[in-house]
Every structure is written in structure tokens, then in C-alpha cells.
Structure 1
Amino acid sequence: MERTVETSSPMALEVPLISARYARQFIRFMERKGVRRHAILGDTDISSDMLDDPDASLSMGQVRQLLGKAEWLMGDERAAFQFGQQLDLPAHGLLGFAVLGQENPRRLISMIVQYLRVGLPLMDMDLSSTGSTFRIQLIDNWGLGDLRPCLTKIYMGSIHRISSQVCKHFCFEFDFDSSLEPEQWRSIATDCEFRFNAPANQVTMPLSGRPIRNDDTGLEFILANARSREREPSEQADETVMQVREMIMSQPGRPCAMDNLARRLDMSPRTLRQHLSTAGTSFRTLRNEIRQNFATLYLTDTAIPLDSIAEKLGFSDQAGFTKAYRSWTGQTPGDVRRQARDRK
């Protein structure tokens, strides 16, 4: 049975919660299906300017408006699952690359759940395993009501997409009905079973045993080493640093302002600065460290052009990115990329 909490107060529903990046991707998905943008955004508090703002975030109230308006425009009840399938790791923001270098399949599944909780906190998840089989149960903590099936299918589609590299079969169970035949659902995910009117919304998936990549230059290794060198701060300050890290990792290329992070943490900017100072760091230090880690991952593990990396990390041009990266590491991006190629 789904656990829910009372979140209907105006204050809870208006807190900035998720990146507007997801709304942009959803609007593009709907436009490809022939639904015009103004038809979805009409009578909502979401404007085109907000969608085009790289630093914008949506509240739960706005998410409800968007999904409520779009659901009846979708036409095909599989559309929400298909949209979720487009949310691969990079689509969840640069933080998605943090798990690409993870060579342990069990750890990978755990990290997927962890990052989805941070980047898309609209439903909670309960992860459990028996032998080599994992189960992820979705939990409605917002009392989504009629919108729960739509959001559940989005989550399930994304879990399918980003877990398919290590899992060979998926069994999706939904606690609501479907008017479609099982074959119609399997046409969009041939390696899956779909069961409706089940006791809970959950997916079970056995590991395929296929190895991921084993590369110590991956972001997870870099971040683990960085954390091991951090000072021993107070418990509260340490928790704040971890939360700020996760928030910055969800949008390292955007000018995520201190005021915005403080508001999401329910504290004043001054208090946030004090916590970070107690932990021996600062907002700028954390953001530059994370951008450096993402940049190194791009340079060593991908062939993405330098100007594209600069854009993804929030720099106005390649020259600015090169100057910043040299100040962080003592090397130019080109040098790091050449060294990586020589090692291969």
C-alpha cells in the first residue's frame, strides 16, 4: 500500500523542487507528438520564459498543473512511459555521468535510485534485493491522486532506460488499470512484463551479469577521493555540505545561486555560508570542484568537443573554460584529452 504524507499546504506546493530541464524535455516530447506548447502551458503558472531559463526550478504545484494539463492530451496511455524512456542518465543532468564509470552492477542500481531521489524528488523509492534480483518500489509521498499513474509510468520508463545496461529482464507492476493488451505494452519494451491492478507500483529486475566499465578516472572515483580529503566538520555542517553537493551536481552548468540553495534547505543564505565555512569549504569551492570533476570525466571518457563541454558546464565560451580548467588543475583541457588518448 502506498505511503502518503500531507503536503497540500500552499507553502509545500510552491517550494522550488526540480529543474525546469524536465519540463523542457517533456514539452519537446509532446510537441513531437503534435501537441503545441501553448496548449500544454495554457492556464498554468509555467511560462515559456521559465522553461528557457537554465536556472529555473518547478514547484510541486507547477508539476501538478503541467501533468494534469498534458495527461488528457497524450492520447496514448503508454506515452508517459515512453517519455520516461527518453530520460537516460545524461537527460537527468550532468550528475548522470557520475554513475557511468561504476563497474559494480549492484552499486550502479543503488546509485541510480540515489540520484533519482535527488534530481527528481516527486516520488520516493524503496530499494531491496534478493540474490541477484532487485526490486524498486515507488512511494507516493505527495498524495498525487489522479496524477499518480502518469508520474509512475514516467519513473518506470526512466528506470527501464538507465538500468537496461545491467539488467536483462524487467517486470513492471502497477496498482492501476490499463485498457491496453500486454502485447501493446511489450511493443515499447520487448524485454519487459507489464502487470496491472497489482498491490504496489514496483519493478523487479535481475542483474544480467554484464560488466560495466572499469575506469578509475570515472567521476565516482574522483568524488570519493575528494570526499576522503575533506576535513572533519561538525555533523550538521557535514550534512549540509552533502546536500549542497547533491544540489550542485544536479545542475553544475547552471548559475545555481546561493539564495536558491538556501531556500531549498530551509535556511538563510548567511546560515548556509556559516555551515559551509564550518566544514572548511564554500559554495564557490564546491561548485568549481564538481565542475572540474565533470570536465575531467568528459575529457577522458568522451569525445565531446571542447566548446560543447564549455557550454554544458556553464561557460560562455571555450576560452573561459580553458582558463578555469587550467586554474583548477594546472593543465589545459586539450592536454588532458591527449594524455587520455595516449593511455588507450
Structure 2
Amino acid sequence: MTSQTHQARKSAGSPSTVAIGFVSGILSGVSRAGLVPETLLEHAEIATHLLHDRTARIPVARYAALYRLINERLDDEGFALFSRPLHRGSFEFLCRAAISATTLEEALERIARFLHVVLDDLDVEVEKSGRAAVIVISEEQALPVGPAGRVFAYEWLLRMIHGLAAWLVAHPLPLDEVSFPYPPPLHAADYELVFAPRYTFDAPRLEARFPAGWLALPVRRDEAALRVFLADAPASITTLYRRDRALALRVREHLRAALPEQPALPAIARRLFLSPRTLHRRLEDEGTSFRAIKDSLRRDLAIDWLTKTARPLSRIGADLGFADAAAFYRAFTGWTGSGPREYRKRFGRTATT
């Protein structure tokens, strides 16, 4: 089983942009259902040529639009990834099966039983292993899609289960570690913000671990809350980036406001009325780090300015707080796999440096 080491310089994801690998995954089954991927992309305002660039990213709003569009056009909340469709309304009945549970453990058991009824291809179980609880997803039969579709099927199902569980107990449930039953996809660097700070690949089955003590958390939602929730679900909880990142987003906002200055963690902690140790720990609880937030902010701003403005490269680097052009080039190449000049040539306007 191969291991993925998390380092911020390896293009950790962010809540504002989505790696193109997730777009390829969500489109993997639509052709077999009679839809044209290019038409869906056009309606979602996503350039088709981006599918052929492994380093491309799109705004999360465009990804969410594509998500809803596919659900509507297919009448399949499973994106034609499985041997039989999950007709629209499946998610609502899943919620109704779980909302009357007393505890998170009972809710997860009901979720697993419901999915056993509607899914032939993947099976879900909840196990206990010492002090850890484990959401297990295993393959009962081969999925009717290619490798990208298989990867997305696992990604989507885990996000849905995890997101629904956190909503039911009205509490963040950051995962400790996830093992995935496939090789590292091209968008694996985003897994830190999507799933957990630690993850591995090429496992026999998917295993998502979290503290077993959380199984006793009470289910807190009622029918009134469910009606509000369903107005924007399931897309609201499965459009990739987790919602248990309130502090991470506040840190990002402070870092953005300080640019081109690069305040260190203690300075940001003071602005948030926290000790540095508390800030570090709470960011870990949210599955991220100060360095990852800083790098994802600078990367997303660099991409935005490169593709949407004629701002010179030297100014972009300076505005992002880099000491010199060489430092900006090294960082941007690490984030996207190509230099800033090359990236602008492919996706944005030409500017003089």
C-alpha cells in the first residue's frame, strides 16, 4: 500500500478552486447514459480544453453547477457511475432513514443498510478497531465505468456519507486517515482538504477512520431542519471541500488582507485572540495547517491574476509576498507543474514581464 505524504508545497487544495481531475471523474459515466460531456461543460461554463490539462483548476461554483446539471439531466444522483441509477429523491430518502436515529452509530448503520438496498456495486459498513471507528467501502462487483469513474465513485460516496453524518450530529467530524483502493490520482494533492490530513492508496478497500467516541454523538436534526437542508442537498455537502473549516477560512481572510506581507502563525493567532498552540491544534482538527492555507491562497490568487489580468509576472510575485521572481517561479511550478509564463500562455492573457 503506497503512502502519500502531505506537504503544503505539493499543491494542497482550497475551498475556492477545484482540480480538473474531479471534473473528469464526475463526467465519467455521462456518455453511457446518452449525454454529451462537452454540452454539459458548456452549460456549466467550463472550457472543454481544460480536461486535457492535468494542472488546470476551475472555480468551485462552476463545479457545483456541473454537479447539479448532471443530476437533473440524468435523473441519477449517482452520475451514471453505477450499474443502476440512483433516481432523484434517493438522497432525501437516505436522510429520512437516518434522521430518526438516536446516535451517530445508529445513523451510520441505517445509511449503510439503505445503500445496500440501492447500490449493487459498492458495499458500505461501519466497523470498530480499538479506539477508531471505520467507514468501510468495498467493491461488490466491477463498476461499469473506467478508472477515472471508479475513483470518483469512491470519492463521491465517502463525501456523501461523511457530509451527511456531520450534518446529522451538527458537529464537524474531521477524519483522521483514509485508505483508498486505487493508485494516486492526478488530483491527489487536493485530498488533504477534501478528506483527511493523512491518506494512503492501493489499499484492499476504502477505510475512513475517526475517533470511536464520536459514534455516541446524538443526532440533533429534526424535520424542520431537514426541509431546509434538502433545498440545496446533496450538492451542498458533496461539492468537494468540507464545511468544517470555519477557522481555516478566517485565517485565509487575514492572510489575504495582509498581502504582500506574510505574517507568521503567532501574528495571525493574536488577531484571532488565540494562542499559537491553540491555533495550530484547531487547524489540525480541521484537517489543515497554517502553511497549507498560506500556499493555497497564494496559488489561487496567482492563477486568478495570471488568467484574468494583464498584471506583469514580476508584480504578481511581489504582490504575493515572494522575495524575487525566482522564488515565485519555483513555488508556482510546484503548485501547478508548469511555470507562470507557460500557464498564462495556455489559459490567460499575454503580459510583459
Tell me the TM-score range normalised by the shorter chain: 0.3 to 0.5
Report 1 or 2 for greater relative contact order, CA contacts < 8 Å, sequence distance ≥ 6: 2
TM norm structure 1: 0.36
